Amino acid sequence: MQLPADVMAMILQYLGMPDLNHTTEPRYAHRLRAIRRQMILLSDDFASDTPSENRYSDAYFVYNFPLNMAKTMHVIKEIRLRYADFFLNRDHYDLLDIGCGEGAGMFGAYHALRNKGLQRVKLVGIDGSKKMLDRAKYLAARFRAHDPGLKTRFFRQRIQERFRFASKKKYDIVLVINSLAEIIQEAVISSRFIISILKHLTNDGLLLIIEPALKKFSRRLMRLRDELALQKEVQVLLPCLHGNPCGLLEVGSRNEWCHQSVPWLPPRFLKIINQGLNREIDILKFAYLVLAKGKARLDRPKVYRVVSQLLREKGKSRCFICTPQGCVELVKLNRSHDLRNADFDAITKGSVVYVENVTVKKNNYWQVTAQTVVAIRE
């Protein structure tokens, strides 16, 4: 996966480096050094829970914006893949982005939703920062110039734990992208914030939350997921593919947390800026939660999410999968290798797998035999 070329061009144009590449890099040496310095300071502040996006806004725009946009695109595409019924016969979408910043979430969703039958998309963004909203408006104007069906509105508003928005309009999709950590600093996320957001969703609307992949953010999102799973008006769609309690929360060591590691193709300019910083920019790491409003019974895919890396040991390989019964260890002995289970060897963290005819040794221990079918369902 990669970002649309027009988005990358807009970012560089705004930052005054429209033709940045390896040949022109020396021309922008001073500018690049300043951005790299900002990136270091931004990371230091993030590690100490100090919001500083406004202070180092250029670094945030050139680095965090592409990553957050790509994460949103990935999650929207996964929803379309796993739960296609939510997107059938739709010719328009109304989308609300809470804590939109520069618009990475809303524009990522917009690009992921675009198709030939889509006639209108209305994006509404709310944020407390004028600087961030100005950049979102700049991007929106550029997108609208090429798509007359795109409508955008922005509101400057401080977002608090009990979300309030004057509009009574209902939205098909609500996004909370990397802003929940700033809105709620407590170790536990109160479900009342989410419930106050659900009031702004249509009856079959979707709420998409993305958070940093750090343990403290991921585990509190997992706890929120379990609390919301008990609500009658909401259903969990992703990352788990079932509505039962989270198996990883019950792991005795408490050292497990559910997050994704998704390979992608970063923009060329990001590779240039990353020189000397040596960050792992070719993997998108994040925790997320997708909720559907409504009581209608979901047609859930008969597959499982892999929540660990593939662990190779002498004579066998194993991984852990998320099932309705909890976290299960899936093990394949080397001698059991067969074309039917060959996909097992290609499993990575976050893979979604179909498993058939497995031998259940214990409730939390399944063994892959030569007769077992293992298929990755991307």
Based on the domain organization, do 335 and 214 belong to the same domain? no
Residue 206 lies in a domain: yes
Based on the domain organization, do 87 and 42 belong to the same domain? yes
- Element (H or E) spanning 255, and its range? none
pLDDT score of 163 = 67
Question: Given 261, 293, 325, which residue is the final one in a domain?
Answer: 293
pLDDT score of 162 = 62
* CATH for 357: 2.40.50.140
Q: Which range has highest mean pLDDT (22-36, 113-127, 299-313)?
A: 22-36
pLDDT(122) > 90? yes
pLDDT(254) > 60? no
Question: Given 265, 293, 321, which residue is the final one in a domain?
Answer: 293
Q: Which of 155-169, 293-307, 330-344 has the lowest mean pLDDT?
A: 155-169
Structural domains in the chain (count): 2
> What pTM was estimated for this model as a whole?
0.91
Reduced to 3 states (helix: H, G, I; strand: E, B; else coil), residue 306 is: strand
* CATH for 63: 3.40.50.150
Based on the domain organization, do 259 and 349 belong to the same domain? no
Based on the domain organization, do 37 and 184 belong to the same domain? yes
| Backbone angles phi and psi of 356, in degrees to 5 | -135, 140
pLDDT score of 266 = 93
Reduced to 3 states (helix: H, G, I; strand: E, B; else coil), residue 208 is: strand
Residue 299 lies in a domain: no
pLDDT score of 3 = 87
pLDDT score of 245 = 79
In angstroms, the CA 129 to CA 108 distance is 20
Q: Is 373 left (phi over 0), alpha (psi -120 to 50) or beta?
A: beta
Identify the residue with better confidence: 68 or 215: 68
In angstroms, the CA 4 to CA 111 distance is 8
pLDDT tens track for 32-71: 999 999 989 888 877 777 776 778 888 889 999 999 999 9
pLDDT score of 195 = 83
Based on the domain organization, do 243 and 332 belong to the same domain? no
Based on the domain organization, do 340 and 289 belong to the same domain? no
Which residues is 374 bridged to in the sheet?
355
Domain holding 265, by residue range, is 5-293
Residue 298 lies in a domain: no
Identify the residue with better confidence: 218 or 137: 137
